[in-house]
Structure 1
Amino acid sequence: MKFQDKVVLITGASGGIGIKTAKLFENEGARLALVDLDKGRLENSAKEEGLNLSESLLLSGNVGSEDEVQAFVKETVNHFGRIDVFINNAGINGHFGDITEQSIENFQNVMNVNATGVFLGLKHVMKVMKEQQSGAIVNTASNGGLLGSPGMAPYIASKHAVIGLTKSAALEGAPHQIRVNAVAPSGVDTAMVHAIEKNASPDNIEEARKQFKASVPMNRYATAEEIGKLMMFLASDDASFISGSYYRIDGGQGATSV
């Protein structure tokens, strides 16, 4: 079991990628600290996924609040004694619309969760990992961190920021044996992508889904488990010399662009 007794902290843990990844780590012997804004929803997701709740630490926390990030990192360390793996995963789509129609409130909200949240997670978890002189971090970026997309400028900007933070954090972590990488998925079969479908074509969601899938050479969405497996690889000793990189997981979509 590759993660036997390793402590894995996951934010955005009630969502599709978060909870599926948690289950994959648990299957490999990890001890879990799971964080979400809505603890009740997190508990329901954990039960539905069949997690061992008696062995897991479920925490509520807003990743965009430094006080709350400090609190859930501290609680994880107090409970388990360390943090070996950090899946820096919390994120939102925000509201859709052209830049000229976007509110500053929506832009700031998306950036607060997706960019500031990643920054604060790195800041406080890396302090713990520096003391340990070890650790692996995987940030959730997106193919939107590499490309543009009309109607989603706040999200796109935030995911570009995640890739930049990943590279800087990797350089700062390297002297302390802390590895930092990011995953950059295309569409994943979760609630977030279904919201994008609905926005693209509210009167014909199936047609929007068909078009989105057709833009992927493999003609389908990724599953949350497929994203989780890549995260596990990057967090494992099998990836011991990989840091500062982002990994597209997009069914070949990246091969059609620079």
Structure 2
Amino acid sequence: MSKRSGPLAPGIAFVTGGARGLGNAIAVSFAKEGARGVVLVDVADEATFQEGKKAVEELGTECLTIHADVTREPDMQRAVSEAVERFSRIDYAANFAGIFGSSDTIADMNLDAWQKTQDVNSTGILIATKYEMRQMMTQSSIDGIEHGRVPQCGSIINCASVNSLQTMSSSAAYTASKHACAGITKVAALEGRAHNIRVNAVSPGFLLTALVKPIEGTDTGRVLWEGFEKRQGRKAVFEEVGDVVVLMSLPRMSLVNGHNLFIDNGFTINEGQF
């Protein structure tokens, strides 16, 4: 028996929504932990891609950018193929493309806006997971598995939300999509385990992402946001989510499958008390 050494996450990471925000923080966390390569998949413009790529490459990690829409099967099939063509495999996938979508009440719900939210946040998760799993099913185990441990052919982490458990008014579309994400993750975990693939979700708490800045920018929204942060106990930073995703992706987490981990400093157990 010897002490563990070397990079924590030496494989290949594939991150949807990876050019910016939480997705890019995850990509950077993988780079910090020694990933051989990182793939950023996004619908962002070229300037945003280059900024996200630079953040990864500054850490000495090779980075591939792919413009692809998670709601389109041909795009995701192509994205996975391009990643494998460059790096031969995908060891860690993180599906973080998402939108807040409609803030209509149920009584006033615009169904087109509802459907757009489902398309990105739930169907997009399904499509990404589908093609990531198909690739991982063809792979041998990642190197470095300790004696006596099961092979690990891939890990997928999907982005849910505290709204996969709790909710508030005027968030029906988003809440439904995140409940669906949690459900897809559970089914994929059961289907993937026979192939030594783990599928989990994380549910970030309240971070000031581009999705919520328009809400926080109003007087009413600012008061609401301050209440959320108070219930959470403090402000959170993107890197905290990135590091959790890396840790959950490691072969050392080999028995963790089908889990939805809340990254919220106790927000969801606080029952509205500050």
TM-score between the two structures when normalised by the length of structure 1: 0.91
The answer for the alignment partner of 1:215 in structure 2 is 231
What SS does structure 2 have at the residue aligned with 1:137? strand
CA offsets 1:146-171 (integer angstroms, 9 cap, x no match) = 11221111110000001001100000
Residue 51 of structure 1: how far off its partner (Å): 4.1
What SS does structure 1 have at the residue aligned with 2:89? coil
User: Distance between the aligned counterparts of 2:29 and 2:61, measured in 1?
Assistant: 17
The answer for the alignment partner of 1:241 in structure 2 is 255
The answer for the alignment partner of 2:266 in structure 1 is 252
The answer for the alignment partner of 1:14 in structure 2 is 19
The yes-or-no answer on 1:152 pairing with 2:166 is no
Residue 49 of structure 1: how far off its partner (Å): 6.3
**Which of the two has greater helix per residue?**
1
Q: State the AA in 1 paired with 2:208.
A: D
The answer for the alignment partner of 1:181 in structure 2 is 200
What SS does structure 1 have at the residue aligned with 2:70? coil
Whether the 8 Å contact between 2:99 and 2:121 is mirrored in structure 1 is yes
User: Distance between the aligned counterparts of 1:87 and 1:57, measured in 2?
Assistant: 15
User: Distance between the aligned counterparts of 2:124 and 2:174, measured in 1?
Assistant: 13
What does 1:131-170 correspond to in 2, within 5 Å? 131-133=138-140, 134-170=153-189
CA offsets 1:61-118 (integer angstroms, 9 cap, x no match) = 0000001111101111111111101001111001322122221111111111100110
Q: Which moved more, 1:156-165 or 1:87-96?
A: 87-96
Q: State the AA in 1 paired with 2:13.
A: V
Percent of aligned pairs with the same residue?
34
Which consecutive unaligned segments of at least 5 residues does structure 1 have? none
The answer for the alignment partner of 1:192 in structure 2 is 211
Residue 59 of structure 1: how far off its partner (Å): 0.6
Q: State the AA in 2 paired with 1:25.
A: F
The answer for the alignment partner of 1:26 in structure 2 is 31
Q: Which moved more, 1:31-40 or 1:108-117?
A: 31-40
User: Distance between the aligned counterparts of 1:130 and 1:49, measured in 2?
Assistant: 27
The answer for the alignment partner of 2:79 in structure 1 is 72
User: Distance between the aligned counterparts of 2:61 and 2:199, measured in 1?
Assistant: 30
The answer for the alignment partner of 1:171 in structure 2 is 190
User: Distance between the aligned counterparts of 1:180 and 1:142, measured in 2?
Assistant: 16
User: Distance between the aligned counterparts of 2:136 and 2:248, measured in 1?
Assistant: 16
The yes-or-no answer on 1:127 pairing with 2:141 is no
Whether the 8 Å contact between 1:39 and 1:58 is mirrored in structure 2 is no
Q: State the AA in 2 paired with 1:8.
A: A
Q: Which moved more, 1:233-242 or 1:41-50?
A: 41-50
Distance 1:172 1:90, change over 3 A: same
Whether the 8 Å contact between 1:20 and 1:49 is mirrored in structure 2 is no
Distance 1:107 1:171, change over 3 A: same
Q: State the AA in 1 paired with 2:38.
A: L
What SS does structure 2 have at the residue aligned with 1:215? helix
The yes-or-no answer on 1:2 pairing with 2:2 is no
Residue 229 of structure 1: how far off its partner (Å): 1.0
- Aligned pairs, how many? 252
Distance 1:105 1:255, change over 3 A: same
Whether the 8 Å contact between 2:16 and 2:23 is mirrored in structure 1 is yes
User: Distance between the aligned counterparts of 2:175 and 2:220, measured in 1?
Assistant: 24
Residue 205 of structure 1: how far off its partner (Å): 4.9
Q: State the AA in 2 paired with 1:24.
A: S
Which consecutive unaligned segments of at least 5 residues does structure 2 have? 1-6, 141-152
- Cα RMSD between the aligned structures? 1.9
The answer for the alignment partner of 1:203 in structure 2 is 219
2:113 counterpart (106, 118, 123): 106
TM-score between the two structures when normalised by the length of structure 2: 0.86
User: Distance between the aligned counterparts of 2:189 and 2:61, measured in 1?
Assistant: 34
What does 1:37-76 correspond to in 2, within 5 Å? 37-40=43-46, 41-47=48-54, 51=58, 55-76=62-83
User: Distance between the aligned counterparts of 2:101 and 2:129, measured in 1?
Assistant: 22
